Every structure is written in C-alpha cells, then in structure tokens.
Amino acid sequence: MRVRAFTIDLAGKRGYDLIVADPEATVQDYLDALEQLTMNDSIYLSRNVGGQCEGCDRCCGERIPLTYIDILRLKRSQYLQKVTGGRVDLRYILDRFCYVVVEGPSVDIMLRTGEDGYCIFLDRKERRCFVYPYRPLVCQSFFCCPSSRKARKLREAIVNQGEDELVRKWLLDAGYHGEDLLIHEACDPKVNPDDWPPNCFTGKRYYWEVRLADLCSPSLWRKLTLLSNQKRLKG
C-alpha cells in the first residue's frame, strides 16, 4: 500500500499513525489506508463503548466541511439522483444539501443539518447514512480515537485545500451565471476571489488524482515519508 495506517499507543490509548511509502501516493491511497484501519478492532473509539463505527451516528452531528470532489461524489450517489431527479447544477446542490457561511473574508461550506443538528443524510429511523459509499472525505477520515500529530496535520491539509477549491468553484459559478453569491448565513461578508487561487485540487474529479506530495508542506512531507525512507535505506 502506498500509504500505511497502523495502530500505536498514544497517551495510554490505542490510536493510529500514518506513513507515506510512495511519493506518488494520492488522497485515495490515504482513504484506503484508513478504511483498512476500521477493520482493526484494537483502536480506542472513545465515543462508542461498543468500539465499532457500524451502527454509530455520534459524529453525524458535527460540522462536516466539504470539498469539491465530495460534491461530485455525492452527485453520483443513487440517493441524490433519486431525490433531485438528476438535477446536478452546483448552486442547486449547495442550496439544498449544504450550508454556506461567510464571516468577513472567510467562507465555510459544510453539509446541511436538520433541526435536530444531525446531518441531512442521516436516516433518522435506522441511524444510518443514506449516502454511505459516497460520504464526504471528513466522514471517511474521522475516528474518535487519538492520532499522531502528523496524521492530524495531513487530514487538515487535505480538508482545507479541498474546501478551498469548493469555495473557488462557488465563486466562479455565481460569476458565470451572473448571480449573487449563494450565502445562507453571513456576518459582514467581504469575500475576495483572489483569496482562493487554483490549488492541487483544481481540475481534479477523483481523489486518486490528487497527490499527497502536492498538498503537504515540506516539513509535513518529510515527517510522513521519513520512516519509509529509513526502511528503504536499511533494506
């Protein structure tokens, strides 16, 4: 595997750490490594005494920031195709399923929640996700267990840059259609399009197209690849 996730003890709890074993590793490799981790029942999931994610909805009531690739994935889900009748334009998807908050120059685009504070894609009766195979990156990459600093930094870098590209698309979409910006909540909005230049997510439609090397700072990349480089040298 190009990214390896493995369990380690962190402050007396079983958490996880990551290494990148191949400089060409992508965001999809990262997600696949985390998916493997869910099969390891020794990690300490602090919010669920049952120790498993299956059947648990405790993280579906939190802020879920989105990437542009998340939006593309959600549009491919059977659930969205059914409830939208195949309507796919970005403004409609953002208005119906997302929530756009602007505070001064900063923009946050997240999944919409219901009156109860839970995600709109949560089946309230069965407590299961309607879009599970297409759920956003934040849902795929969160575990309520300790993780190493570099694992947290990598997740943060992916989520932030992925969301930045969604904000750029949100700005472009309004400009292209000559419409006002779609905003659900605002406090003294001062959005400057120059704050959202193209980045490593630009033009990408799948997570396997985004290389981790392109979104990490040099120091984070050194830390993520250090162990694998050492093993290679020893080998």
Binding residues for ligand SF4, rule: CB under 6 A, are 45, 47-48, 53, 56, 58-60, 64, 111, 119, 121-122, 129, 131, 135-136, 139, 142-144
Residue for token digits 């309507």?
87
Decide whether 119 or 166 has the Cβ nearer to ligand SF4.
119
Decide whether 144 or 213 has the Cβ nearer to ligand SF4.
144
Decide whether 129 or 186 has the Cβ nearer to ligand SF4.
129
Q: How far is the CB of 143 from ligand SF4 (least distance, A)?
A: 5
Q: How far is the CB of 85 from ligand SF4 (least distance, A)?
A: 20
Decide whether 135 or 204 has the Cβ nearer to ligand SF4.
135
Q: How far is the CB of 63 from ligand SF4 (least distance, A)?
A: 10
DSSP 195: G
List the beta bridge partners of residue 122.
Answer: 129
Q: How far is the CB of 45 from ligand SF4 (least distance, A)?
A: 4
Using DSSP bridges, classify how beta strands 185-187 and 98-103 pair: parallel, antiparallel or unpaired.
parallel
CA distances from 168 to 38, 54, 66, 198 (A): 33, 35, 12, 8
Calculate the dihedral angle through the C-alpha atoms of 75, 202, 28, 4, rounding to the nearest 10 degrees.
Answer: -150
CB-CB contact of 94 with 109 (8 Å): yes
Span between the terminal Cα atoms of the chain, in Å = 17
Residue for token digits 């997600």?
31
Please name the residues in contact with 102: beta carbons below 8 A apart, sequence gap of 6 or more: 108, 181, 183, 185, 186, 187, 189, 191
Q: How far is the CB of 2 from ligand SF4 (least distance, A)?
A: 24
Please name the residues in contact with 92: beta carbons below 8 A apart, sequence gap of 6 or more: 84
Q: How far is the CB of 33 from ligand SF4 (least distance, A)?
A: 16
Decide whether 86 or 117 has the Cβ nearer to ligand SF4.
117
Decide whether 122 or 224 has the Cβ nearer to ligand SF4.
122
